[in-house]
Amino acid sequence: MTFRDDTCRALDRLALTAQRDGRVPGLAAGVARRGALQWFRGVGTIDLARPADTPDEDTQYPVASNSKTFTAVAIMALRDEGRLDLDDTVDRYVAGTVHEGVTIRQLLSHTSGMQREPVGGIFDTMVMPEREDLVAGWDEAARVGRPHDRWHYSNLAYSMLGEVVARLDGCGWEESIRRRILGPLEMRRTGTRPSGRRAKGYYVPPFSDVPVPEPEFDAKALDPAGGLRSTPADLARWGAFVADPVAEVLAPDTLEEMCQPQTMADATGWTMAWSLGLQLLRKEGRTWVGHTGGWPGSVTGCFTERDSRTTAVLLMNQTNPVPPAAAAIGMGHEAVEREPAELEPWVPGSEIPEGLAELLGHWYSEGTGFVLSVREGKLEARVEGAAKGDPPAVFERVDERTYRTVSGRERGEVLTVERSSDGSVSHLTWATYRFTREPLAFGQWL
């Protein structure tokens, strides 16, 4: 199944506009649903020596900082395995470091205050560090800001996270990523080495239209921050995982945790936040999660709107094209607006679990009405009059009188069923607040 012709024409125009405005020799753009590209457009050429060689779905580009999202997933998987804690300090895994109190969580969310790049002026010398040089340079690196004071992007931070992954898994970072992620997701054209059909990188100077070839080199110890290469088809698979994670790779609840904002990166407009490894961008009421990437001769963006399972991919073989996040999300937004994801049909339940029938219906707390109901065998709570798309609070049974909130409002808090002497339900307490069948003022029940 593909998008309608009119949708494809609108997306074609956006792709062509990005290619023209960004003066991109060879642009590849796609929008996928559940991992399958529903629209794809290649514009230009992957090699100026072969002008008719247009990018296709299997053309490989350096995806640069999109690599960070893979490193973040590996770190979260190690956390779930009990092998690290997000609030552990780096010196627990890289012994002897002089930087105290730098935590895994801070590195993931770019709130450590550590300098942006490894020491050595690497983008001046164009000599990337080996692993041992990276670790040695960590002590020389400056902590340019206070922890959690503000968002400060750091390739050094993610390179060190990759070192943590490598040390805990007892292998190179790429080997770990391939075993944990690329293999299970069948991302066969993703890796740190160029392979197969790939786009050459160029820089287009501001005062001429003659592209200059960019050098090709390995990221080495910066691989966890920016060394991967991938294709539109593989990144569509990655977006499907971000929308609906495979438990073999990462638990769905953990991916949800990764999507929670940790810091506001756009302190003026509040449209961009950073989570545990993912960039969060808001556009007209929707949240797109993913990352951008910039490398000499390649600028990319891959973003997913999780509710509709829609992923937008944009790969450009130009050092300074249009901003990739805005362009990619613009294409994704156009697709979702024109062709919303298909609705799932309502499915009747088979039974109301024991003990829930007497809890259903209207309740009141702090003057606000709530409705408790059952869906798919789970107890849910919604605020009366809430917007149709607002998620409910969902509960799981702990024992005959206790339920734990597992998602939505007051996640983690306990709902307790209180009974009168005759055994009937007198009231509920949720997050310590009393819920009654009639609207009451505070203390009116005393």
CATH code: domain of residue 415: 2.40.128.50
pLDDT band at 386 (very low <50, low <70, confident <90, very high): very high
Together in a domain, 372 and 290: no
Structure confidence at residue 97 (pLDDT): 86
Return the higher-pLDDT residue of 344 and 359. 359
Give yes or no: residues 313 and 229 share one domain.
yes
For residue 363, pLDDT over 90 is answered with yes
Domain boundary residue, one of 293, 311, 338:
338
Are 65 and 148 contained in the same domain? Answer: yes
- One domain, residues 294 and 379: no
Q: Is the pLDDT of residue 108 over 70?
A: yes
334 and 367 inside one domain: no
pLDDT at 315 over 80: yes
Domain boundary among the residues 338, 366, 384 is at: 338
User: 346 lies in a domain?
Assistant: no
d(C-alpha 339, C-alpha 256), whole Å: 25
Residue 182 and residue 191 in contact, taking contact as beta carbons nearer than 8 Å? yes
Residues 258 and 382 both lie in one domain: no
- In the structure, what pLDDT confidence band is assigned to residue 1 with cuts at 50, 70 and 90? low
C-alpha 124/C-alpha 189 separation (Å) is: 30
User: 292 and 424 share a domain?
Assistant: no
Domain count, the chain: 2
Residues 131 and 191 in one domain: yes
Domain boundary among 288, 307, 338: 338
Residues 21 and 130 in one domain: yes
Confidence of residue 343 (pLDDT cuts 50, 70, 90): confident
402 within domain boundaries: yes
- How far is the C-alpha of 161 from the C-alpha of 115, rounded, in Å? 14
Label residue 139 by pLDDT band (50, 70, 90).
very high
Residues 56 and 173 in one domain: yes
Residue 114 domain-assigned (yes or no) = yes
Q: What is the mean pLDDT of the chain?
A: 96
* Start-to-end C-alpha separation, the chain: 62
Q: 48 lies in a domain? A: yes
DSSP H helical segments within 212-274, as ranges? 223-226, 232-243, 252-258
Task: Determine the residue type at 295.
Answer: W
- In sequence order, which ranges of 128-218 are alpha helices (DSSP H)? 131-140, 155-169, 173-177
> Per-residue pLDDT for 19 more than 80?
yes
Residue whose token pair is 């944990």: 180
Q: Answer yes or no: is 441 within a domain.
A: no
**Above pLDDT 70, what percent of the chain?**
100
| Rounded-to-10 torsion of CA 147, 149, 155, 156 | -20
Q: Give yes or no: residues 317 and 427 share one domain.
A: no
- Per-residue pLDDT of 154-188, as tens digits, reads 999 999 999 999 999 999 999 999 999 999 999 99
- CATH assignment of the domain containing 157: 3.40.710.10
Are 43 and 136 members of one domain?
A: yes
Are the CB atoms for 108 and 86 separated by under 8 Å? yes
Average pLDDT value for residue range 293-320: 98
Q: Which domain holds residue 247?
A: 5-338
Q: Is residue 203 assigned to a domain?
A: yes
In a domain, 166, yes or no: yes
Mean pLDDT, residues 393-413: 96
Q: What is the pTM of this model?
A: 0.94
Q: Does 343 map to a domain?
A: no
